[in-house]
Structure 1
Amino acid sequence: MPGGTTVIQIIGVDAEQINKLPLTDMQRAIVRQRQNSPRIYRFSSLDALLFELAMRENIVQAAKALYNGDAGFAVFDRSRCNERLWERTPNGGFQLRPGVRPSDGINDIFENGRMYAFECATAMVLILYKAVLETIGKEKFDTYFPDLYVRDWHYDSDLQLVTAYDNNEATYGDVLYFKNPDHNPETPEWQGENAIMIGNDLYFGHGIGIRTGEEMIASLNRKRVPFSMQSAYLTDQVNHPSFEHLRNIAARGTEPMLAYLQGDVIARVGSHGYSHYFLPTA
């Protein structure tokens, strides 16, 4: 915004204090984007800002880790998993086996990806779980995210996704959706692609890979009905976890859940429950 006016508002914290924070390059890029936005971004505290920045960076890192792994792309009836840790359900989902630590179940997907295959909506949830795990640590994750079941957009209610409709405000770690309205009906899995924004006009979508927005659309266009003239496109829909919800849960009955010491971000999460929240599946 001209004149350096900040539109990140925190009570008792000014723009100079924010700009002096020892952030990573990615976190600094998010702050700059927010400061240059016409929108006002309000945070209840400096902790709230730092928590969101840490989570967003971990979402991007988790997306890259899934991309660099060997997990395959598959529709539900062809999904597969490491059945030592997960039970494949009849509808193609994965249920964590009794006695398996949730953190071990999630980490195995990223470490032994060749044993897994799933579609892009499931991939988005797994990326978000991995980011939460990396942000809050194994102990908290195992305590508050037990009995995991992953399929499509089924996720634990403590993840709690927030939806907005303005992709101009999308930033690192947001989940966006590329819609392919004229997809071939014989391949409904290509009706669109859920994707994590991992850079400036750079996205990761499971099954397509890391692409620019133009490349993502071109890839989907190759999945249309023959002779179609209707292009795929990036929708306005933007999703991300409720960072404040996670932060507030983390603060229950604990020491301050986020400390910013020597450049290290430490966070904690709590509570458990399940939610059925359905977004585009392809």
Structure 2
Amino acid sequence: MIIIRDGYNPINPASLSGTEKEVYDQKMASPTPYHYDSAEELLFELRLRAAIVESARALERSNVSFASFSKSRSNAAYWTTTSNGGFRLKQNVRPSAAIRDIYANGRAYAFECAMAIVIVLYKAVLDTIGAEAFDRLFADMYLYSWEHDSDLPLITVKGKRQTYAGDVIYYSNPDYDPKTPQWQGENVVKMPGNMLYGHGIGITNEAGIIRELNEHRKRGSKVSAYLLDQVTYPNFSEIMSEMRTDSRGLPADRHWPADWIGGRIGSRIQFYA
């Protein structure tokens, strides 16, 4: 059930994209209440979820490779590949350009599945908020496993719960072959129609993810890979707020005195001189 604080919901489901409408309809029909301060906040979530789905599809088509951290590689024009397999943004390179290069020049890149998920999320945020806001928020970008900028806040909820397109879930492979530790599990993006995207596996259903993981178990193992009861997703309202404020917490679309700062209280900005 979707509950908007002011009670006004001008969203016309017929105007939503396929992914947006699927999430909207599923949340409306859910017995779990989902609270939003405004219809704008709900629409931002729907758009970002749809962008996550499209970002995952695009990464699957990009010809990037799956690799362990020790074999990670990146385009040296944009990134420095660190000794632990991370990617550090080079000086004077725009974060938006560096993220887009992963998609445009996929053959130059190789990384493991957790980093792939973070890249998918960054690209989705870029496509949702635009390059100007993205470059301002993520100026010192560093990609490594699940590490991410504080301006890309993520929420992880443990326990059984309904998941939606754009969520990130994890399949654990407890009896993985120790010779291939990169297959101890798979982070996947929930796609429309109960499909899943996993880096190194592609877009498939749950049975396909489990089958692939089970092929990388210890010899003779009878313990199957399984879905972990947790879900991760962006803090949509926080990202929407961040894209509208500068590094001092003031609205980014105006010029403010150098000695002014701002602080957010709920959806209201308080100014301090």
* TM-score bin, normalised by smaller chain: 0.7 to 0.9
**Matching of residue 232 in structure 1 with residue 225 in structure 2:** yes
1:78 to 53, 71, 75: 71
CA 1:133–1:232: 2 relative to 1, 3 Å:
same
* Bigger relative CO (Cα 8 Å, ≥ 6 apart): 1
Question: Residues 210-245 of structure 1: CA distance to partner in whole angstroms, max 9, x if unpaired?
Answer: 110011001101111111111001111100110011
The match for 1:277 is none
CA distance in 1, matches of 2:73, 2:242: 33
CA RMSD of aligned residues (A): 1.6
Q: After alignment, is 160-169 or 213-222 more displaced? A: 160-169
For 2:204, give the aligned amino acid.
R
1:60 to 41, 53, 67: 53
Is residue 80–residue 90 contact of structure 2 (8 Å, CA) maintained in 1? yes
Give the superposition deviation at 1:172.
0.6
Spell out the pairing of 1:74-153 with structure 2 (5 A cutoff).
Answer: 74-153=67-146
**Matching of residue 8 in structure 1 with residue 2 in structure 2:** yes
Where does structure 1 differ by over 6 angstroms across 4 or more consecutive aligned residues? none
The match for 1:158 is 151
Structure 2: stretches of 5+ with no match in the other structure: 246-250, 254-262, 264-273
For 1:8, give the aligned amino acid.
I
**Matching of residue 34 in structure 1 with residue 27 in structure 2:** yes
For 2:166, give the aligned amino acid.
G
Tell me the percent identity. 44
Is residue 138–residue 149 contact of structure 2 (8 Å, CA) maintained in 1? yes
CA 1:166–1:34: 2 relative to 1, 3 Å:
farther
For 1:196, give the aligned amino acid.
V
**Matching of residue 177 in structure 1 with residue 167 in structure 2:** no
SS of 2:41 mapped into structure 1: helix
Structure 1: stretches of 5+ with no match in the other structure: 1-6, 256-270, 272-282
Q: After alignment, is 197-206 or 39-48 more displaced? A: 197-206
SS of 2:191 mapped into structure 1: strand
Aligned length: 249
CA distance in 1, matches of 2:187, 2:77: 28
TM-score by length of 1: 0.85
CA distance in 2, matches of 1:186, 1:227: 15
Give the superposition deviation at 1:23.
1.1
TM-score by length of 2: 0.88
1:215 to 208, 213, 216: 208
Question: Residues 95-137 of structure 1: CA distance to partner in whole angstroms, max 9, x if unpaired?
Answer: 1110111111000001000000000000000000000100011
Question: Residues 188-214 of structure 1: CA distance to partner in whole angstroms, max 9, x if unpaired?
Answer: 100000000112221111011111001
Give the superposition deviation at 1:11.
2.5
CA distance in 2, matches of 1:142, 1:23: 28
The match for 1:47 is 40
CA distance in 2, matches of 1:169, 1:29: 13
SS of 1:210 mapped into structure 2: strand
**Matching of residue 244 in structure 1 with residue 259 in structure 2:** no
